Amino acid sequence: MVSWRTYLAALSLLGALLTASHSRLLAELLAALLFALLTPEVLQLAVLALNGGWPLPDILCLKHACLETTGREYCAFYGVKVTDCRHGCYDLSEKEFFSLSTTFFHVGLVGGDAEYLLITWNQQYYVVIRACGKDPYELRRTLEKHLRRVEEALSLTGCSWERMNGQNIRRVLRPSCLVPSGRSPLRLAVAGLVLLPLALRAPFLLPVGLAGLAALLLSQGRGGYTAASGLHVYTLVSIDSFYSLASLSDILSRAKIVYSSCAKDLYLALRVRPAAPEEEQAIDTEAYRSYEVGTALEKLSLIHRSTKFFAAARRRWERREALYVVSGLLVATQSQQKILERIGLRFIRLPSALEVVS
Amino acid sequence: MTKLLDRLIIKKTYALSGDLAAFASPLAVVPPREETSGMLLGTDDLGRPVFLNPSSLPNMHGIIVGTTGSGKSTLARHLILEARDLGVSSWVIDPHGERSYARLYSRVLLLGADRINVLDTPGWKSSEFSSELARYIERVYGISGARFVLREILLKCLSRGSLSPLENLSEVPEVKRIYDDLAQIHEDSAPSVEELAASSICFTFPQMSSREFRSLAALLLLMLLQGYRRTLGESHRFEHMVVLEEAHYLAPYLLHLYQQTRKWGYSVIAVTQLPRELDPKLYQLAGFVVALSGPESYVNDISLLFSLTRDERDHILYKPRGAALLVRQGDPRPRKLFLKLRREAFPEA
């Protein structure tokens, strides 16, 4: 699915080409807009050119936690490993599975001042909590509070767990399926990118120069990582089932597919944050608005869009499902990615997904 | 700056808890915890090796059920070989006299031709031994009401160290029958249980022996071993294993045995093709149960015992040979097993 940004970039390019012979200023403005719209892609290319892989910050692992320093802030990670669950998708009924699983999310992932990393790797399940702050003691209290809540949720779900030590947290955040990348021969090209607007005296290339500069800043003090041989790095772009009123048996059958075919050998990290009330409200608003506009303009595409959002809204109200904002990293083979795609998880190959575990 | 870059670079999407349940719930990912050492049985449906670990089971008594040709005996032989690697000696009591068992042992006793001393009963008081034996003989031979008379006769035999008191009453047809069978098993100068328990032995029977004779011989062997192991004191180490083929012959005694012999360092693995013939309580007492594949009525019986899911039922109903379910005490989740048995355990090897 092509995003609105890509459409706009294509239009800008077309506009710049058409207006170049008539108005140089307008063409330059449109070109500047084009580059501004493409900044994320240029930035990613520049980062890759600089590091050979995606740069991740070094993490310092202590006895029970890992730390990452970002400017004047600390970001700390605490984690638990789920060792066993009394039941699973292999023996639960549809209702039981749905009820227990949602209990885990509703009780354990309450958010606020922390983010959760739900990591599946080699049929093991980890919950890593990440919180950032300036005061290490306050940070510790926050993480302890959230960890206890996750443990309570696991206990309600019938799962046993063990707290992870620092080394184990590091192993999960920098798994062996990600390997440090070698030095890239294109390093110098990034410096050229930064100087490009000056060298060519072309102000419309300023977004490109800024992207190069951002890439240099982002890569500072970080080592690049790339997927191990035979694997690829994917980023989660959408969860199709979000827009449908999936039945409980559908949810269970998808879980069984994940259990039997996918959970083995793949690395899936989801950064999950409970959505803010206004984000929840936005789902309902989008459903109503697109319906109203769609019916007024007799636009089937908008009415269809409304149906999709209405399904999500109904699930929130009728099934009491909580809304989360999710970003995902998948390190897997192409066939595993295809299976996940069939069950409604859309991924694209994008190395910046590694940011999920930073 | 980092937050700004995060917003620019990281793709975010919405998910409801039901969406996450399908792929990010621990219940959709974490398989039941598995042992990492012990006796290897095969792999589970996720390809993980499955072990029977004597040290993590409350007891090593086991039951192997499956219909004819499903591989019960092959699995039992595999367990014998695995146990041997752990330094565990074994007995096999095999009414069929299969060569495949005998092949694994350097010492084979053909009961009926080879004798043992059944009147040397270490660990038992004579009165206890005769009471127990009389109780089971009454059931095995179907002579109800004879228990107390038999007890007295057997007590005399034990005190004299000879079967002559039985022989003297052999004009009574029931007693003669018991005497004939006992005389085929016992000899005063034959090895005692103490000597037999020190080595691994395959006990077999003549091809056309009666069911009563087989039951009596197996019963005596198990009772003698039970007493002897008691003399060695309590032991939670797994030291000796008995594989009992056609275990349903001894169903009532097995129940008693499984209740009593948990802490004496040995285990009895009952092999049978008829799950219903064994007392349901036996399945509660056994440390592990392996159910091999079989027809629908058989799978229904297993389902009643362990309340299986449809997947688990189908696993032993539709899968070819080598599929089994493993249930271990303390973990009610049956494991769908694909047996990986040693080559030497197969009859054709």
User: Looking at the complex, does the CB of residue A321 fall below 8 Å from at least one CB of chain B?
Assistant: yes
Q: In terms of domains, do A132 and A160 share one?
A: yes
Q: Is residue A157 part of a domain?
A: yes
* CB of A107 less than 8 A from some CB of B: no
Residue at a domain's end among A224, A249, A284: A224
Report the candidate in A4, A172, A5 with the shortest Cα–Cα distance to residue A82: A172
**CB contact residues (below 8 A), chain A span 42-61, against chain B:** 43-44
From chain B, pick out residues whose CB is under 8 angstroms from the CB of A124: 29-30
Any B CB within 8 A of A83 CB: yes
Residue B348 has a pLDDT of: 66
Give residue for tokens 């520049």. A46
What average pLDDT is seen over chain B? 90
Chain B positions in Cβ-Cβ contact with residue A275 (cut-off 8 Å): 14
Amino acid B222: pLDDT? 93
- Asked if A268 and A130 sit in the same domain, the reply is yes
User: Which region holds residue B271: left if phi is over 0, alpha if psi is between -120 and 50, else beta?
Assistant: beta
The nearest CA of chain A is from the CA of B53 a distance in Å of: 18
pLDDT in tens, B209-241: 888 999 999 999 999 999 999 898 888 788 999
Percent of chain B predicted with pLDDT > 90: 62
With an 8 Å Cβ cutoff, is B6 touching chain A? yes
Tokens of B93: 């009591």
Q: Is A126 on the interface with B (CB under 8 A)?
A: no
Put simply, whether A155 touches B (Cβ < 8 Å) is no
ipTM above 0.95, yes or no: no
Residue among A103, A170, A320, A239 nearest B26 (CA): A103
pLDDT bracket for residue A1 (50, 70, 90): very low
Q: How far is it, in rounded angstroms, from Cα A48 to Cα A126?
A: 29
- Give the CA-trace dihedral at A352, A357, B2, B6, to 10 degrees: 50
| Structural domain contains residue A317 | no
8 Å CB contact of A259 and B311: no
Chain A CA closest to residue B32: A84
A110 part of a folded domain: yes
Chain A residues within 8 A of B9 when measuring between CB atoms: 40, 43-44, 352, 355
3-state secondary structure of A216: helix
Provide the residue type at B73 as one letter.
S
**Are residues A167 and A204 located together in one domain of the fold?**
no
Query: Helices then strands (H, E): number in chain A?
Result: 12, 13
B47 touching A, CB under 8 A?
Answer: yes
- The alpha carbon of residue A5 and the mean position of all alpha carbons in its chain are separated, in whole angstroms, by 19
Chain A residues touching residue B309 (CB < 8 angstroms): 90-91
User: With bands split at pLDDT 50, 70 and 90, how would you rate the model's confidence at B4?
Assistant: low
Q: Positive or negative, the Cα torsion across B143, B146, B152, B153? A: negative
C-alpha pair distances (Å), B149 with each of A42, B142, B291? 99, 14, 41
Reading the block at residue A68, the tokens are: 């990452």
Total residues found in chain B within this entry: 349
Residue A270 shares a structural domain with residue A189: no
The predicted structure's pLDDT at residue B159: 92
Same domain? For A161 and A196 the reply is no
Segments of chain B assigned to CATH 3.40.50.300: 39-111+200-217+229-345
**Claim to verify: residue A118 and residue A255 sit in the same structural domain:** yes
Regarding whether A164 and A108 lie in a shared domain, the answer is yes
**Band (A2; pLDDT cuts 50, 70, 90):** low
Structural domain that includes position A212: 4-55+181-224
> Which residues of chain A make contact with B15, given a CB cutoff of 8 A?
239, 242, 272, 323-326
Q: Do residues A219 and A196 share a domain?
A: yes
Q: A227, A189, A229: which is closest to A209 by C-alpha?
A: A189
> Are A138 and A113 in the same domain?
yes
Residue of B nearest to A260 (CA): B46
Does residue A25 lie in a domain region?
yes
Question: A49 pLDDT exceeds 80?
Answer: no
pTM for the full predicted model: 0.84
Residues A176 and A229: beta-carbon distance below 8 Å: no
Domain co-membership, A128 together with A247: yes
Q: Which of A260, A330, A266 is nearest to B47 (CA)?
A: A260
**Residues B109 and B203: beta-carbon distance below 8 Å:** yes
Contacts of A14 (CB under 8 A, 6+ apart): none
What is the tens place of the pLDDT at every residue in B157-200?
999 989 999 888 888 888 899 999 999 999 988 999 999 999 99
Which position has the token pair 């160290």? B161
If one compares B66 and B98, the residue with the highest pLDDT of the two is B66
Indicate which CATH number applies to the domain containing A70: 3.40.462
pLDDT digits (tens, 9 = 90+) for A169-218: 999 999 999 888 876 666 677 667 666 777 767 777 777 777 777 776 77
Query: C-alpha distances in angstroms, B155 versus B8, B64, B129?
Result: 92, 35, 8
Chain segment A117-130, per-residue pLDDT in tens: 999 998 899 999 99
Domains identified in chain A, total number: 2
Label residues A47-67 b or e (16+ Cβ within 10 Å = b). bbbbbbbbbbbebebeebbbb
Which residues is B202 bridged to in the sheet? B92, B108
Pairwise CB contact (< 8 Å): A251 & B23: no
Domain B39-111+200-217+229-345 CATH superfamily: P-loop containing nucleotide triphosphate hydrolases (3.40.50.300)
Distance CA A74, CA B286 (A): 54
**pLDDT for residue B8:** 64
User: Coil, strand, or helix at residue A21?
Assistant: coil
- Chain centroid to CA A218: 18
CA dist A325 and A348 (Å) reads 18
